Amino acid sequence: MCATIVDDGVGGWRHGTDWAFLERLAHRWVDGYDWRATEKRINRFANDRVPVDGANVHYLREPGSGPSPRPLLILHGWPYSFLGYLDVVERLAHPERFGGQVADAFDVVLISQPGTGFSDPPARPKSPRQLAEVYHRVMRDELGYQRYLVDGGDQGAVAGGFLALDHPDSVIGLHQSMLLPRQPEAPLGYGLTNADASAAERDYVQAEAARFQRDGAYFLLQMTRPESLAPALTDSPVGLAAWIVEKYHSWSDRRARTFEEIFSLDQLLDEIMLYLVTDSFATSLWSYAALQTDPSALPPDIRITVPTGITGWPDPWNPPPPRAFAERSRANIVQWTQPPRGGHFPFYEEPDLYVDDLRAFGRALR
């Protein structure tokens, strides 16, 4: 494995994954990394798979402390998985064990996106809105939760938004770190917004378009040619690692810490290994492919009405929008926070801030 990495003389992260870092990662992979230890961490919690539309959907569940913990559905995005939340599950379910109040406890449910990790792929690619329906059926029909909170980032934020839109009687509150879905006048990455937008709103979408021009090739490739990309990366573990690790580097908040101070090599290898041991990298891209026919935009003149919390992490890939921009697609924002630290992966980068923010949102809805 290590022999596949040959120094190209360029160095650094400017053109993608740094090969010197990739070599260190590969050496750890073959000498010291222990997937069995990760399996034990997973199995500390209750895991199951339930059939939805003929495909088994994986979830991890930790019942909360106290007499009335509220159900909390956490939805992951790409290129991470439910593994990213393992270290915060107990804090959310049992706050009293960590200096908190039992009244803040949640029944925590992590669902693996269909086609990712231990969830089977659907018969055909499902869009975020279609995935939202799968998640609702797991929560209501399989787990018996008639009412629940939803938290999501990245693609999990998109599906969570559609859950709140389509099932407002079931979703107690929506907590997001990415403002999607949003109004159709502001399609993601095009630099467009409403005709009456403020200068701050226009600046926001134009900066977003510039980021897509600079760093969004992965998005377009995974949306339009996933079946060409996947064989190359699944055939080469180091190639898959290079593709994934670059996103963790680019999207994390590295202003005060180095990349290797934020993420351990084993955390990165866990996420990579999950794709490999389940042979799910190809189908993890299907939700991108489905965006060609079912874009992640709200219907015209529709806003999400359930109580909403927006957390604007200083994410290099997805910085927070102006609040006025968010209010065009969210009618009931009850919490708006902008933490001082943390990027696209707050549960890894700043777990204490992530947990505190979710607890505060839960308290706001009592």
pLDDT at 365 over 70: yes
Q: How many CA atoms lie within 13 A of 355 on its CB side?
A: 23
- Largest interatomic CA distance in the chain: 61
Q: Please give the C-alpha separations between residue 227 and each of 120, 125, 128, in angstroms, as whole numbers.
A: 17, 12, 19
* Of the candidates 97, 36, 38, the residue with the CA atom closest to the CA atom of residue 62: 97
The mean per-residue pLDDT over the stretch 250-257 comes to 98
* Of the candidates 151, 75, 158, 149, the residue with the CA atom closest to the CA atom of residue 112: 75
* Bridge partner residues of 311 (DSSP): 337
Sign of the CA dihedral 212, 213, 216, 220?
positive
Q: In what order do the strands lie in the sheet with 171-176?
A: 46-52, 55-62, 106-111, 70-75, 148-152, 171-176, 308-311, 333-337
The secondary element (H helix, E strand) that includes residue 50 is strand 46-52
Structure tokens at 313: 């992490």
* The predicted structure's pLDDT at residue 5: 58
Q: Indicate the DSSP class of residue 4.
A: G
* The predicted structure's pLDDT at residue 10: 72
Write the CB contacts of 37 (distance below 8 Å, at least 6 apart in sequence): none
The mean per-residue pLDDT over the stretch 5-24 comes to 84
pLDDT per position as a tens digit, 33-82: 999 999 999 999 999 999 999 999 999 999 999 999 999 999 999 999 99
The answer to whether 274 touches 83, Cβ cutoff 8 Å, is yes
pLDDT at 90 over 90: yes
How far is 98 from 94, CA to CA, in rounded Å?
A: 8
* The predicted structure's pLDDT at residue 179: 96
pLDDT per position as a tens digit, 171-229: 999 999 999 999 999 999 999 999 999 999 999 999 999 999 999 999 999 999 999 99
* The predicted structure's pLDDT at residue 296: 84
pLDDT at 305 over 60: yes
Does the structural domain 15-364 have CATH classification 3.30.420.10?
no
Residues marked active site are found at: 154, 288, 344
Sorting pLDDT into bands at 50, 70 and 90, what band is 287? very high
Tokens 């956490």 sit on residue: 74
The answer to whether 320 touches 310, Cβ cutoff 8 Å, is yes
The answer to whether 321 touches 60, Cβ cutoff 8 Å, is no
How far is 305 from 311, CA to CA, in rounded Å?
A: 17
* The predicted structure's pLDDT at residue 4: 61
How high does pLDDT run on average in the chain?
97
Calculate what percentage of the chain has a pLDDT beyond 70. Answer: 98
* The predicted structure's pLDDT at residue 123: 96
The mean per-residue pLDDT over the stretch 2-14 comes to 69
* The predicted structure's pLDDT at residue 264: 99
* The predicted structure's pLDDT at residue 3: 52
pLDDT per position as a tens digit, 107-151: 999 999 999 999 999 999 999 999 999 999 999 999 999 999 999
The answer to whether 136 touches 150, Cβ cutoff 8 Å, is no
Q: Phi then psi for 201, rounded to 5 degrees? A: -65, -45
* The predicted structure's pLDDT at residue 295: 82
**Domain coordinates in residue numbering, the chain:** 15-364
Structure tokens at 70: 């509220």
* The predicted structure's pLDDT at residue 330: 98
